Structure 1
Amino acid sequence: MGSNSVEDMIEASSGVHFSGFHMDGLESKNIEKPTTSPGAENVHKQPFIIGVAGGAASGKTTVCDMIIQQLHDQRVVLVNQDSFYHNLTEEELARVHEYNFDHPDAFDTEKLLDSIENLRHDRAVDIPNYDFKSYKSNAFPARRVNPSDVIILEGILIFHDPRVRELMNMKIFVDTECILRVASLVLLSWAVTSHCKIFSADADVRLARRIRRDTVDKGRDIGAVLDQYSNFVKPAFDDFILPTKKYADIIIPRGGDNHVAIDLIVQHIRTKLGQHDLCKIYPNLYVIQSTFQIRGMHTLIRDSLTTKHDFVFYSDRLIRLVVEHGLGHLPFTEKQVITPTGSVYTGVDFCKRLCGVSVIRSGESMENALRACCKGIKIGKILIHREGDNGQQLIYEKLPQDISERHVLLLDPILGTGAFLFMVDNHLLFAFIFKYHVTNFSTGNSAVQAISLLIKKGVPESNIIFLNLISAPQGVHVVCKSFPRLKIVTSEIEIGLNEDFRVVPGMGEFGDRYFGTDDDDNLQAVAPMQLSNQSC
């Protein structure tokens, strides 16, 4: 198989591709299934969870309905916070007119969290129907909600509990200022006219929604509705609902009438649904779009029978794509040029203060692609190696003197565990001459420490772009959480790590396969030396 071209592999492949699974039509005989970590088993796609909050009768349900209608080709379910009101006790029922349904304690948040967790883990749940006449949750008939691609959580206080907020991929607040502006006007109107005349102003119509809903759907008296509004609804909005507006990613004025905002939200959701689950969590993670060419090249470099020549050739092709994609995330300015025809072309000019830093040894395999894309670019080097079982970090670095003023492309083909975050002492450093491959286990460690070293050298975190071919989810979590302003660009996300902390399905010891060296544990250390930061 090692002699096959990528075009042959593409022609042989068929079916939907999932990283780490064998494609139909490819030989898979005598291949031992790797032992994966528990997190790698039973992999299922995580749902995209949207929270929609706002004041009473602000148009939340209308916004949710419009999103559901536009996402008709996706599985979408709506979970309303109103279904999780506590059952009232006999004492509370006797004084129901004094019960504050707009207080956070009125909701059974634990039951809500349990339902969301079940849906996230691909388990159906039964959502109770809360009866606003008896003020009890009716278990029968409950509403069966199946796991779906998109879960919309709607409620006035859906942003109040931080545990619920952390589960959301997008938070939308439907603005309700108009209701507060006319509260006194409508109350005055009710006092003057027994018919509660509602004027044609848009704000009055919005407040009328609550009156109509509570009187028709919940069987309440109109006077009691207005009393509840003045005594509980408006104070609760000021004390509990409005403060959660700061957590929103998107604020929609005019609710369902704002078609432009809803269209933009739907477009964003569609984009996220087409991404890897980790991209929904971390906006600083970028996975290049998979094509048949990329899948074919991944198949070849992952094949244990592929020759060194083919491995290097197709690895270089993939690395070039990753580098080009990473360069696309650099800042740019608009620039106009005159074409040979005498016309004006408006384009862009990328930043010129750029350098690369390779994590020795595997990272050096990415240098040629970077030089091919950026002629004359300065490239620094960092070596961070785990010495034996004592965990001592042996470090060598040679970086441009003005690296703090540059954008940095950090090069390392495999992001593994990303574990063991250590701060680096840049005064006493060690240089090594060795024949040793940094394993996938320490690759993530090296990446995190390399990033820490760059930041300690004065490089702004937002100026670092980490480029690699494959990434384990565990490493992505550690790096993205530790450095939220750094960007990661990779070509594929792996299943995970096996019991030996090796990336699976992976591609083996990348450095040994690329440079054609044996996995030799011999390491020769040179005496410690004080290194100056010389320009590369």
Structure 2
Amino acid sequence: MPEKPMDEVMEAAAGAHFSGLRLDSLRLSSPSTPSSPSSARASQVLSPESASSAAAPRQPFLIGVCGGTASGKTTVCDMIIQQLHDHRVVLVNQDSFYRGLTGEESKHVQDYNFDHPDAFDTEQLLECMGKLKSGHSVNVPIYDFKNHRRCSESFRKVNASDVIILEGILVFHDPQVRNLMDMKIFVDTDADIRLARRIRRDTVERGRDVSSVLEQIRGMHTLIRDRDITTPDFVFYSDRLIRLVVEHGLGHLPFTEKQVVTPTGSVYMGVDFCKKLCGVSIVRSGESMENALRACCKGIKIGKILIHRDGDNGKQLIYEKLPKDISERHVLLLDPVLGTGNSANQAIELLIQKGVPESWIIFLNLISAPEGIHCVCKRFPSVKIVTSEIDVALNEDFRVIPGLGEFGDRYFGTDN
């Protein structure tokens, strides 16, 4: 663990205030009383360690992060990982340990309570965390949220690390799981704030309500999907949609609180966004999204990946040109259409090989096929996907239906 106090790490988390979090040779102070009931708060509990244990080989340090939906758990986890970049850190999500539904439960899935402790396989969670605490690698299950079952032949291998972060809405429920933790952080955010965040995820902060935003997006989709639209109009409305997607994607980046002095001499508490950022476009249709990204992030570095596509096989890499320090950057991966997911997976795999943490990749696109989303999320569960609409399916030619045709040809005017 680093020598810097953990309160510096946690105070950097966006939109939340934390108290009493200090790490000094794996010893913590007691949590203080939160100053504001309406702000996000965190508390910790640590079992005391005897002086003799300091001489023993150091085990991985396990941090539990718990809180309600949209409370800010992901932001807290991302900032911990970002601050501990000199150490090996792994993130384990409680969602990976959902129990598979029975046939009868699947028939009435709308009535199933996924937020109840019984929805999770706590025994397997305990087994996996115990092995990680002992310095062994484990195979974490991958849950298929579409079919509500475990992917029987697929696992996510998690290697032994210096720091383990266990995140979930109910990770503090079972006492055996709690007893494994060296630090416990509960992100407590008022229900109205969490509801606002949920709404904000699906809206654009421009003074319009949910319905008007959805209608506007739906209207632009109607225009660009029309096969008879002119190229200039296709480009114009595509650019507007792309800008919305890019702005929403930027909202998923970590940021820190920052004070500035206004022209009136007043102090304004704002935020400072992540500086280490770059875009990577999948050539060539992904290049249509670069202008919107540059408009939002002046001077941003943009890399290129060219992948040969032959039917549903997107695994042949032709060309890549990426920033030399890309392993230190959060990456916005750009491609307007997510079809089978094969090309996206190849691009993401390349980024990870270059040292980019999986959780630092945000995939931006205009439309996604359910098969593509499932393919990417199954292989890379920590990658975030931001899209403006999910289409019905892929047809036998692996084209998105209803889709919008060959986006690159239509955007750059090379279609017939």
The TM-score bracket by the shorter chain reads: 0.5 to 0.7
Q: Distance in 2 between matches of 1:509 and 1:468?
A: 14
Q: Residue deviations 1:264-305, cap 9 Å, x none?
A: 5x99799989999xxxxxxxxxxx995221111111111112
Q: Distance in 2 between matches of 1:322 and 1:171?
A: 28
Q: Of residues 476, 485, 493 in structure 1, which corresponds to 2:382?
A: 485
Q: Give the secondary-structure state (helix, strand or coil) at the position aligned to 1:298.
A: helix
- Does structure 1 retain, via aligned residues, the 8 Å contact 2:311–2:397? no
Q: Distance in 1 between matches of 2:104 and 2:119?
A: 17
- Pick closer, same or farther for the CA change 1:452–1:158 going to 2, 3 Å: closer
Quote the offset at 1:117 in angstroms.
1.7
- Does structure 1 retain, via aligned residues, the 8 Å contact 2:312–2:398? no
Q: Which amino acid in structure 2 is aligned with residue 328 of structure 1?
A: G
Other-structure match for 2:107: 118
Q: Which amino acid in structure 1 is aligned with residue 233 of structure 2?
A: D
Q: 1:399 and 2:388 equivalent? A: no
Q: Give the secondary-structure state (helix, strand or coil) at the position aligned to 2:260.
A: strand
Q: Of residues 369, 380, 404 in structure 2, which corresponds to 1:507?
A: 404
Other-structure match for 1:457: 354
Bigger fraction of residues in helix: 1
Map 1:123-142 to 2 at 5 A.
none
Q: Of residues 300, 304, 308 in structure 2, which corresponds to 1:381?
A: 304
- Does structure 1 retain, via aligned residues, the 8 Å contact 2:368–2:387? yes
- Pick closer, same or farther for the CA change 1:161–1:503 going to 2, 3 Å: farther
Other-structure match for 1:191: none
Identical aligned residues as a percent: 65
Q: Distance in 2 between matches of 1:456 and 1:356?
A: 17
Quote the offset at 1:344 in angstroms.
0.7
Q: 1:327 and 2:250 equivalent? A: yes
Q: Distance in 2 between matches of 1:378 and 1:465?
A: 15
Quote the offset at 1:382 in angstroms.
0.7
- Does structure 2 retain, via aligned residues, the 8 Å contact 1:387–1:394? no
Aligned Cα RMSD in Å? Answer: 4.2
Other-structure match for 1:223: none
- Does structure 2 retain, via aligned residues, the 8 Å contact 1:159–1:244? no
Q: Which amino acid in structure 1 is aligned with residue 106 of structure 2?
A: E
Q: Distance in 1 between matches of 2:258 and 2:415?
A: 50
Q: Distance in 1 between matches of 2:246 and 2:214?
A: 17
Q: Residue deviations 1:30-84, cap 9 Å, x none?
A: xxxxxxxxxxxxxxxxxxxxxxxxxxxxxxxxxxxxxxxxxxxxxxxxxxxxxxx
Q: Distance in 2 between matches of 1:481 and 1:507?
A: 25
Q: Which amino acid in structure 2 is aligned with residue 452 of structure 1?
A: E
Q: Residue deviations 1:438-464, cap 9 Å, x none?
A: xxxxxxx22111111111111121221
Quote the offset at 1:416 in angstroms.
0.7
Quote the offset at 1:316 in angstroms.
0.3
Q: 1:497 and 2:385 equivalent? A: no
Q: Residue deviations 1:340-371, cap 9 Å, x none?
A: 11111110111222211110010000011111
Q: Give the secondary-structure state (helix, strand or coil) at the position aligned to 1:356.
A: strand
Quote the offset at 1:243 in angstroms.
5.4
- Pick closer, same or farther for the CA change 1:273–1:298 going to 2, 3 Å: same
Quote the offset at 1:518 in angstroms.
3.0
Q: Distance in 1 between matches of 2:117 and 2:309?
A: 51
Q: 1:472 and 2:395 equivalent? A: no
Gaps of 5+ in 2: 1-98, 125-140, 150-167, 203-210
- Does structure 1 retain, via aligned residues, the 8 Å contact 2:313–2:343? no
* Greater relative contact order (CA < 8 Å, ≥ 6 in sequence): 1
Other-structure match for 1:130: none
Q: 1:317 and 2:240 equivalent? A: yes
Gaps of 5+ in 1: 1-108, 121-146, 176-240, 252-259, 277-287, 419-444, 520-536
**TM-score, scaled relative to structure 2:** 0.55
Q: Of residues 281, 298, 310 in structure 2, which corresponds to 1:358?
A: 281
Q: Distance in 2 between matches of 1:262 and 1:392?
A: 43
- Pick closer, same or farther for the CA change 1:114–1:270 going to 2, 3 Å: farther
Quote the offset at 1:154 in angstroms.
7.0
- Does structure 1 retain, via aligned residues, the 8 Å contact 2:315–2:346? no
Q: Distance in 1 between matches of 2:230 and 2:358?
A: 38
Q: Which amino acid in structure 1 is aligned with residue 108 of structure 2?
A: L
Other-structure match for 2:292: 369
**TM-score, scaled relative to structure 1:** 0.43
- Does structure 2 retain, via aligned residues, the 8 Å contact 1:360–1:382? yes
Q: Give the secondary-structure state (helix, strand or coil) at the position aligned to 1:507.
A: coil
Q: Distance in 2 between matches of 1:506 and 1:455?
A: 29
Other-structure match for 2:216: 293
